[in-house]
Amino acid sequence: MKQNKLKRIFALVVAATISATVLVGCGDDSKKSETDEQVLTYNLGADSKTLDPALNAAVDGGIVLSNAFEGLCRTDENDKAIAGGAESWTISDDQLTYTFKLREDAKWSNGDAVTAHDYEYAWKRVLNPATGAEYAYQMYYIEGAEAYNTGSGSEDAVGVKALDDYTLEVKLHAPTSYFLELTAFPCYFPVNKKVVEADSEWATKVDTYVSNGPFKMTEWNLKDSLVFVRNDNYYNKDEVKLDKLVMKMVTDETSAFATFKAGDFDMIDVVPTSEIEAGLKDGTFVTYPNLGTYFLVVNTTGENASDDVKKALSDKKVRQALNLAIDRDSIVKNVTKGGQIPAYSYVPEGIPGADDKDFASKEYFKSSGDVDAAKKLLEEAGYKDGEGFPTITLLYNQEGAHGDVMQAIADMWKKNLGINVSLSQQEWKVFQQTREDKNYQIARHGWVGDYVDPMTFLDMWTSTSSLNYSGFASEEYDNLIESAIKETDATKRDELMHQAEDILMDEMPAIPIYYYTQTKGIQPYVKDVRVSPLGFIYFDKAYIDGK
C-alpha cells in the first residue's frame, strides 16, 4: 500500500479501537454555576421511526435510547464494557455461562425497581417472532435464541433466566468475546415488564415512556422535539450534570446550521457539506472517526420490480459492473468533503485483526473504479454499451446530502455504462420501511458497527438476518459465518470471515462507496459530550460552561 493510505489506516485504527470514543471539550465541573439551569439543545436531525429498544434499527433512535436507557453494561471511552445495570458478573470456565449481579439501587424512572425479570422479559420480547424485531439476530449468540425466533424452538429453551430479582443467568451456544459489549447495545436494554404488558403503545407516549437511564422523557412534540430531564431515580444521578436535554428533529441541514449559528442549537448532528471546510477551520465543527460503511444495497430478488429490471439486477455481473463504474475518490473529494475514506471493501478500516493489522487489508476493487472492466462485465451480461438495459430507480432518503451522492453515482453510470437512472427520494421513516419491504431496486444504505469486530458487518447478510434487505442468500456464506461464530482460534476465525467477505464482494448485494466519518457542529461551551465511532452520542457527563 502507498504510505499515505497506511498512515490513514493507522490513524483510524488508533482512533476507533484504542481510543474509540472522543470527549468533546473538557473542564472543571467547579466552573459550572450552581444557579444556572444546565440545558443542552441538540439537533438529532431525524424523526425516529421508533423509540422502542426492541424495534429500533437506526442510529438516530439508538442515540435517543442510549441516553434514556442502560443495559447490563455500559461502554467506556474505548467502547469496552464496564459495569452498568449490573454491578458485577462471573463467566464460567468454558465461557458459555454469564451470571450477572444487578444493582439493587437501580430503578425505573417511575420509581419501580429494575429487576432481572425485566431483562429476561425484554430479551425474550426481542426474540419473540410476534414482535418483529429486526435486531433479533443480534441475540442469536444466546442458547436457543435463533430457534425460538425462527419458530423452531420454545421460549423456555432460551438461555436467559432470572434466578432471583437481582441475578440474571445467560447461557451462550458458543464463546463470544464481545458479548459484554453487546449487553450495552440498545436491543439488549431492559424494559419495564409491568408497563409494557399494560400498554402495547407504551413507547409512543410520554406518560408511559418509562426508562432506566440517566435521562427521562418529559415532552414529545411530534416532528419537532423530544425533551428529557435528569432522571432522579437513576442510581448514578449525581454524576449527570445536565438538568435538561432537548433533542430537536430539524431534518434540513441548512436550516439546522442557521439555527446553530444563531446560538439556538448547542450541537447539530449533521452539517452542510458546503460549510465543512470553514467550520473545521474555525473550530465549530469537529470530525470524528466513525466505524461504518456508506453503500448501495441492491434488491437481488427483483421483488416488486418489472421483469427486465429483475433480470438485470439478479445478474451478479451487472452488479459488479455497477460497482466498478463508480469513482469513489471523486465522490469523497468533490461531493461529501468530510474526510470520508473511499471504500475498497465492505468491512471498513479501523478494526484490528488477529495479527493486529487492520482486518480491511484486501483491496477488492480500486476506489477510483475501473470503467473498462465495468463495460466488459456489462457486455458479458448482454448489455453492450448499455443497450437494452432498463431504466433503474435509485432510492434514497431526503434528509442530508444523500441526493448529491446519488446524483453523482447516477451520472457515472450514465457516462461510463450508458445506463439511465431515475432518482427517487422518501422521508426517512417511509424510506426505512420501503427498504425493509424490498419495495425498491437499488437504495442508499449505511452501516455503523454495533461493536468493534468484523462480525458486526458480516452477519447481517446471512439468509436468516432480518437486516438483509437485498434478499441475497448463500448457503456457503451462512456456513462460513456460523463457523466463524463458533471458532475460538482468532486467526482461523479471521480467515473464515475473510472468506465470507470474498463471497459478499463477488456477489455484490452491497456496493460500498466510502467509509464514514462524522462531522458535527459543537459550540465551544459544550463540554464532555462523548461521540463514539459506533455512532452513539452520550450526554450523561455533558455540561454547559460559558454560554
The SS3 assignment for 519 reads: strand
Q: DSSP characters for 72-109?
A: SEEE-TTS-EEESSEEEEEE-TTS-EEEEEE-TT-B-T
Q: How open is the CA angle 491-18-89, to the nearest 5 degrees? A: 80
List, in order of start, the domains of the chain with CATH numbers: 3-253+523-544 (3.40.190.10), 288-518 (3.10.105.10)
Rounded CA-CA distance 409/405 in Å is 6
User: Do residues 40 and 526 touch, judged by C-beta distance below 8 A?
Assistant: yes
Main-chain dihedrals φ then ψ at residue 404, nearest 5 degrees: -65, -40
**For residue 252, what pLDDT is reported?**
92
**For residue 27, what pLDDT is reported?**
43
**For residue 13, what pLDDT is reported?**
37
CB-based contacts of 169, cutoff 8 Å, min separation 6:
97, 98, 99, 100, 159, 160, 161, 162, 163
**341-342 and 510-522 as β-strands: parallel, antiparallel, unpaired?**
antiparallel
Sign of the CA dihedral with 148 first, then 149, 155, and 156 last: positive
**For residue 15, what pLDDT is reported?**
37
**160-164 and 97-102 as β-strands: parallel, antiparallel, unpaired?**
unpaired
User: pLDDT by residue for the chain (547 residues), tens digit each?
Assistant: 332 333 333 333 333 333 333 444 444 444 444 457 999 999 999 999 999 999 999 999 999 999 999 999 999 999 999 999 999 999 999 999 999 999 999 999 999 999 999 999 999 999 999 999 999 999 999 999 999 999 999 999 999 999 999 999 999 999 999 999 999 999 999 999 999 999 999 999 999 999 999 999 999 999 999 999 999 999 999 999 999 999 999 999 999 999 999 999 999 999 998 999 899 999 999 999 999 999 999 999 988 889 999 999 999 999 999 999 999 999 999 999 889 999 999 999 999 999 999 999 999 999 999 999 999 999 999 999 999 999 999 999 998 889 999 999 999 999 999 999 999 999 999 999 999 999 999 999 999 999 999 999 999 999 999 899 999 999 999 999 999 998 989 999 999 999 999 999 999 999 999 999 999 999 999 999 999 999 999 999 999 999 8
Q: Residue for cell digits 471539550? A: 25
Q: Give pTM, 2 decimals.
A: 0.85
**For residue 478, what pLDDT is reported?**
97
**For residue 400, what pLDDT is reported?**
81
**For residue 7, what pLDDT is reported?**
35
**For residue 305, what pLDDT is reported?**
85
Q: Residue for cell digits 447478510? A: 461
**For residue 303, what pLDDT is reported?**
81
